[in-house]
Structure 1
Amino acid sequence: MEGISRDIMYAVFRTQKALYRLIREDAARVGVTEVQLIVLYTLLKKEHIRLNDLAEKLNLSNSNVSGTVDRLVGAGLVVREPSKQDRRAVILSLTEKGKETVSEAFGEQSVLRRRLGRIQELVSPEEIEQFLHLHEKIKAILLGEE
């Protein structure tokens, strides 16, 4: 692979790596891993979600998410409850401790939050909108959804 294709691939990889590094810093500060923090944040934004829906949303395998959720349940950050609609399904929710952990991770001391704020200071709203639109378009093409 060469040229612009390689440049696109490396640009995405480098951006993703930078985001994960910042999330890892915020996660370590509150005593969880970056994947655990991403799961907690997702549960904060989408309460009462099934395990397989969570795995799909995060683009991770069910077994990977299941192991992560097991550790979060063990830490008292997440609860599993049987679904009222489908007794075979399990619904995941944050505990109060889980909500506090996410809030602390992305609170005043959050490195990620400060850097994202810096983007908003240095990049115009129009450029951000254009970036988000282009990102969605590229993602759809890569996933064959165009």
Structure 2
Amino acid sequence: MYFLNNEIFESFSEINKAIYHLGKFEADRVGVTVVQLKALYRISINPDISLGELAEKLRLTNSTVSGVIDRLVQSELVERIIPPENRRAISIHLTEKGKGLLEKIYTSDSILIRKMNSLLEMPKEDIAHLLRLHKLVLSKLTLEEE
């Protein structure tokens, strides 16, 4: 029983490691960190996202994400927008420079994009089955209070 659990754990660890290395390679190539790259991607698919929502999607604390956003603002890749109707709310947007950086990854000969797209070559039934299994594993590993 222990061996099987260890084998499952090792499998997920290897997949995580491979994804991290692909992300690190691309992040280094465009001059940002992996966390900054993930933040830029999340902001690109969630325009007007708040800091709290971004932290939740990245599974990081608000203070950690605030520091990440500070550095992205300094690099002119994102901007904080304060809507006039609610001055306490702050939304985060990509700047043109930030959009350009992501576009560079999406349109270039990106190994990350190539590898991730290769997953889509799997039969749709296999992908659906894999996603069902991942949800099941996640439900078994998630603490009740989360």
TM-score w.r.t. the length of structure 2 is 0.89
Is 1:89 matched with 2:89? yes
Query: Kindly tell me: are residues 79 and 2 of structure 1, through their superposed partners in 2, closer, same or farther at Cα, counting changes over 3 Å?
Result: same
What letter corresponds to residue 142 of structure 2 in structure 1?
L
State the Cα deviation string for residues 84-124 of structure 1 (Å, max 9, x = none).
55432311110111111111123232111111222333x22
Q: How far off is 1:22 after superposition?
A: 0.3
- Output the CA distance in 1 between the equivalents of 2:56 and 2:119: 28
- Output the CA distance in 1 between the equivalents of 2:64 and 2:44: 19
What letter corresponds to residue 81 of structure 2 in structure 1?
E
The aligned counterpart of 1:125 is 124
The aligned counterpart of 1:107 is 107
Bigger mean CA deviation after superposition, 101-110 or 57-66: 101-110
CA contact (8 A) 1:82 1:90 kept: yes
Bigger mean CA deviation after superposition, 7-16 or 67-76: 7-16
What letter corresponds to residue 10 of structure 2 in structure 1?
Y
The aligned counterpart of 2:79 is 79
What letter corresponds to residue 133 of structure 2 in structure 1?
L
Alignment RMSD, CA only? 1.8
What letter corresponds to residue 98 of structure 2 in structure 1?
G
Bigger mean CA deviation after superposition, 131-140 or 68-77: 131-140
The aligned counterpart of 2:134 is 135
Unaligned runs of 5+ in 1: none
What letter corresponds to residue 135 of structure 2 in structure 1?
E
- Output the CA distance in 2 between the equivalents of 1:4 and 1:84: 56
Bigger mean CA deviation after superposition, 73-82 or 9-18: 9-18
CA contact (8 A) 1:106 1:112 kept: no
SS at match of 2:107: coil
Q: How far off is 1:14 after superposition?
A: 1.3
The aligned counterpart of 2:12 is 12
CA contact (8 A) 1:76 1:95 kept: yes
SS at match of 1:106: helix
Identity %: 40
- Output the CA distance in 2 between the equivalents of 1:114 and 1:100: 19
Q: How does 1:50-61 map to 2 (within 5 A)?
A: 50-61=50-61
